[in-house]
Copies of this chain bind each other. A is one copy, B any other.
Amino acid sequence: MKKNITIKDVAKETGVHVSTVSRALSPNARASLSSEVVERIKNKAAQMGYRPNLVASGLRTNRTMTVGIVIPDITNSLFPPIVRGVESVLEEAGYASILVNTDGDGKREERLLDLLLERGVDGIIDAAVTSQDKKVTSIYERVPIITANRMVFGSGIPAVINDDESGIKKIFNLLVSKGHKNIGYIGGPERLSTGEIRNNAFKEATAINGLELNVKNTVFADKYTEEEGLNCADSILSNCPNVTAILCANDRLAIGAIEAVNSKNLKCPDNISITGFNDTPMIDRIPPGLTTVRILQFDVGRIAAELLVKKMNDPSIPVPEKTIMPVTIVNRGSVSIPNTGN
């Protein structure tokens, strides 16, 4: 392993002091130097193959130029686009990102957040928070944080989220416009802001439309997984055989619901219409084509990162506490007019 070339080596080679080299190589401090030396030093440094040591610089400046990205699980296709969105702006701004997966485990999340702190990250993008997250709130006084896709209620932590409420209401309206009156609902986990907001939106939507809501046709998933979706749909279908549609708080739940429908020898959408939320990648290739709410995954990450960069540059700068990204309905094959026949 070769030895690294330091600022000191460059200084010796060019016959100036290390501080001069430092200044010559720093775009800000460069101004106080004669352009002649600056050129000479920059050339020599390049020629010697000098690469700054970000660790040393980080120690001195207390800025590591790294941020932590906290997500539940990169294996969940909802998150990679968010991560890319985050990195698209972070990379431009010179930041590297440390990615960690919480697996939705609170203890893990706490550990990982502490780890990020030890590593001196300049900021954190957290897409794995729970709606009442204590840990992240306590950390918020030590480092700038932006939550993405989810939020912590009443924490003051700036959040970039999707318009969950209007998404649910729009797709609910789509169902009623098709003639559905008996709509089942598979809700999201109440401990997540997405779950709570979507679930409330569903309740409101039923009320607004004068439909009735009973405990049998609205069940709440404990996790956003296909398996939960399958179980919840099973429960709805057996307790309320007269539902003509099931609105799901998330695509994965919807996929599970479709499975449940299929396994009962029913067909979606012929017998039961099903809708999702997120329009997660590849979902369009799974039959019958999920009608769902499209969110701007990449942009959620992008905007969150932009806000974070602002905050990191100047912690006192005010950023909106809630940025709500627009959603759109994408119509595919999983919704049709209700089949009340037989």
Instruction: List chain A positions with a Cβ less than 8 A from chain B.
Output: 1-2, 4, 51-56, 58-59, 64, 66, 73-75, 77, 80-81, 83-84, 87, 96-101, 114-120, 141-143, 255, 281-282, 285-287, 315
Contact = CB atoms under 8 A, between A and B. Distances in A.
B52 A118 contact: yes
Given A59-B56, A120-B53, A77 B142 contact: no
Tallying the copies of this chain within the complex gives 2
A99 B101 contact: no
B54 A281 contact: no
Contact of A119 (B54, B99, B116): B54
Given A2-B142, A66-B98, 20 more contacts: A1-B142, A4-B142, A51-B114, A52-B118, A53-B59, A53-B120, A55-B59, A56-B59, A73-B84, A74-B83, A75-B80, A75-B81, A75-B281, A83-B99, A84-B101, A96-B116, A99-B99, A255-B285, A282-B286, A286-B286
Contact of A141 (B1, B66, B81, B83): B1
A213 to B, nearest CB: 31
Given A66-B98, A99-B99, A315-B1, A117 B74 contact: no
A130 to B, nearest CB: 21
Contacts of A66: 98, 119
Contact of A285 (B2, B54, B118, B286): B286
Most buried by B among A55, A58, A100: A55
Contacts of A81: 75
A119 to B, nearest CB: 5
Contact of A98 (B58, B98, B115, B142): B98
Most buried by B among A4, A75, A97, A114: A75
Contact of A77 (B64, B77, B141): B77
A80 B255 CA distance: 20
Nearest to A64: B55
Most buried by B among A101, A119, A120, A286: A119
A116 B96 CA distance: 9
A159 to B, nearest CB: 20
Contact of A59 (B59, B100, B117): B59
Contacts of A75: 80-81, 84, 281
B98 A141 contact: no
A51 B282 contact: no
A98 B83 CA distance: 12
Nearest to A68: B96
Most buried by B among A53, A141, A143: A53
B96 A97 contact: no
A186 to B, nearest CB: 18
